[in-house]
C-alpha cells in the first residue's frame, strides 16, 4: 500500500515542473541577503487547500517557510529540508549566473546546485503529495533562512515547535549520491597570536621573558633613580 502510494506520488512529479520552480527560485534576488522575497515565491507554488503554509519571521524580512500536508496519523512523518539562502557564484561563468537559463536539458543559475534545485524538488514533492489521498504520515517542508555558518534558521524552527517528524531528508548537494549520515562539523577560531605562542612554546613566563631586555633596562633605571627602594 505504501509502495503504491509512493510510486504514484513519484509518477506525478514532472521534471519540467521542478525546473520551473527551481528557475523561479534562482531568479529572485535577495536584498541584503534577506530571504523574504524567495520564501514568498516558494510559498506561492505551495498554494493548495491541503498544504498548510507558514512564513515564520525569524528576523525582519528573513522567514522560515514551513509547509505541511497532513497524513492520516497512522505512520511516521517525514521532513524535507533545504535552505533559502543561496546564490553565491564563483568567477568564470560563461553567462550571467543571476539570469537562470535552461540549455540542453539543464538549468544554469547561481545557487541551483546548493541548493535551490533541491528545494524545488521538495516543493514539487509537497505539491504531488497534496494531490494524493492522505499518506500514513505528514510530509513537512522546512525551507529555512540563514543556514550559513551556524544554521540559525533550522535551530529557530526546532526551538519553536515540537511536532517535527523524526525522519528527514536534506537536499544539500552530494553529487547525486545518497548519504545516510553526516560527520557533523567542528567550528573553531584561530587566534594568530595564540597560535604563535603555541608554536613557540610561549607560556605566560615565556611571553614575559620576551621582554627581558626592557625589564632589565627598567630595573637598572629604577635602581639608579631610587636605590633606596
Which residues in this chain contact Zn ion in the complex, by CB under 5 A? 114-115, 172
Q: How far is the CB of 172 from Zn ion (least distance, A)?
A: 5
Q: How far is the CB of 193 from Zn ion (least distance, A)?
A: 33
Cell reading at 156: 529557530
The C-alpha cell 543559475 sits at 109
Of 20, 13, 15, 17, the C-alpha closest to 109 is 20
Cell reading at 18: 521542478
Instruction: State the Cα torsion 96-97-100-102 to the nearest 10°.
Output: 90
Q: How far is the CB of 84 from Zn ion (least distance, A)?
A: 10
CB 88 within 8 A of CB 76: no
CA-CA-CA-CA torsion sign (162, 165, 166, 167): negative
Nearer to Zn ion, 69 or 119 (CB): 119
Q: How far is the CB of 8 from Zn ion (least distance, A)?
A: 30
Q: How far is CA 136 from CA 20, 164, 165, 166, in A?
A: 29, 15, 13, 14
DSSP three-state, residue 150: coil
Q: How far is the CB of 85 from Zn ion (least distance, A)?
A: 9
Nearer to Zn ion, 85 or 127 (CB): 85
For residue 14, cis peptide bond before it (omega within 30 degrees of 0): no
Nearer to Zn ion, 148 or 191 (CB): 148
Nearer to Zn ion, 110 or 129 (CB): 110
Amino acid at each position: 500500500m505504501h509502495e503504491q502510494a509512493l510510486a504514484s506520488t513519484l509518477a506525478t512529479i514532472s521534471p519540467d515542473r521542478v525546473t520551473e520552480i527551481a528557475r523561479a527560485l534562482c531568479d529572485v534576488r535577495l536584498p541584503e541577503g534577506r530571504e523574504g522575497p524567495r520564501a514568498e515565491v516558494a510559498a506561492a507554488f505551495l498554494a493548495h487547500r491541503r498544504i498548510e503554509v507558514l512564513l515564520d519571521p525569524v528576523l525582519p524580512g528573513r522567514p522560515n517557510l514551513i509547509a505541511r500536508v497532513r497524513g492520516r496519523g497512522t505512520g511516521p512523518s517525514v521532513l524535507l529540508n533545504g535552505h533559502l539562502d543561496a546564490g553565491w557564484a564563483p568567477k568564470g561563468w560563461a553567462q550571467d549566473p543571476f539570469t537562470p537559463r535552461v540549455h540542453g536539458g539543464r538549468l544554469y543559475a547561481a545557487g541551483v546546485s546548493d541548493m535551490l534545485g533541491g528545494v524545488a524538488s521538495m516543493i514539487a514533492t509537497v505539491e504531488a503529495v497534496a494531490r494524493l489521498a492522505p499518506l500514513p504520515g505528514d510530509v513537512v517542508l522546512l525551507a529555512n533562512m540563514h543556514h550559513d555558518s551556524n544554521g540559525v534558521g533550522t535551530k529557530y524552527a526546532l526551538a519553536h515547535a515540537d511536532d517535527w517528524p523524526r525522519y528527514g531528508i536534506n537536499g544539500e548537494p552530494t553529487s547525486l549520491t545518497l548519504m545516510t549520515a553526516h560527520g557533523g562539523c567542528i567550528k573553531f577560531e584561530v587566534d594568530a597570536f595564540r597560535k604563535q605562542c603555541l608554536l613557540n612554546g610561549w607560556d605566560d613566563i615565556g611571553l614575559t621573558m620576551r621582554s627581558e631586555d626592557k625589564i632589565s633596562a627598567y630595573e637598572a633605571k629604577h635602581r639608579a633613580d631610587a636605590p633606596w627602594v
